[in-house]
């Protein structure tokens, strides 16, 4: 799993890294590594590219709200990044949207809620069926953009 954040999400990203490590997940920390101000598009792109090129199966992104870094990750073809705020949105992001990057905001959630949401995301599986048709349409949009 690839994790990335800007400065506003670094503490939560580090917490989630520890949380995942304690569960035995193989994680790569793509930064940022300090509280120095950085730009979330750089880290959303790093995580998105790691997922898109297969270096990582899934990504975890954190910024202040989860929004900016999700927008950045979603610019990478093949990435479906979802901002989640709780267990339900995290579970549905996987079951319905087949999200491959999960994004949370350090300024809008707690470590406890974020780690519970992340667990729910990892435990859930894509339901396919009618949702596959919609994922295919997302892939078509990627192709259109890349053409
Ligand atoms: C950084 O100050 C902040 O704007 C960023 O972390 C994020 O919340 C943007 O969506």
The pocket around ligand 1, CB under 6 angstroms, is made up of 6, 8, 40, 63-65, 67-68
CA–CA dist 128, 145 (Å, integer): 24
pLDDT of residue 53: 98
Is 7 an active-site residue? no
- Which of these is catalytic: 61, 96, 103, 131? 96
Residue ranges of the domains in the chain?
2-146
CA–CA dist 56, 48 (Å, integer): 9
pLDDT per residue as tens digits for the range 101-119: 999 999 999 999 999 999 9
- Ligand 1 pocket: which of 65, 71, 75 to mutate (most atoms within 8 A of CB): 65
pTM: 0.97
Look up the CATH architecture of domain 2-146: 3-Layer(aba) Sandwich (3.40)
CA–CA dist 52, 139 (Å, integer): 12
The C-alpha angle 102, 104, 105, rounded to 5 degrees, equals: 160
């Amino acid at each position: 799993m690839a994790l990335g954040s800007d400065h506003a999400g670094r503490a939560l990203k580090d917490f989630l890294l520890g949380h995942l490590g304690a569960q035995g997940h193989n994680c790569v920390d793509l930064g940022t590594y300090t509280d120095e101000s950085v730009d979330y598009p750089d880290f959303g792109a790093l995580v998105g590219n790691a997922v898109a090129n297969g270096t990582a199966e899934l990504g975890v992104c954190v910024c202040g709200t989860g929004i900016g870094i999700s927008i950045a990750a979603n610019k990478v073809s093949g990435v479906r990044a979802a901002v989640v705020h709780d267990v339900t949105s995290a579970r549905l992001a996987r079951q319905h949207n087949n999200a491959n990057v999960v994004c949370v905001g350090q300024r809008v959630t707690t470590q406890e809620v974020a780690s519970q949401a992340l667990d729910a995301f990892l435990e859930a599986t894509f339901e396919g069926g009618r949702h596959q048709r919609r994922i295919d349409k997302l892939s078509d949009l990627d192709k259109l953009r890349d053409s």
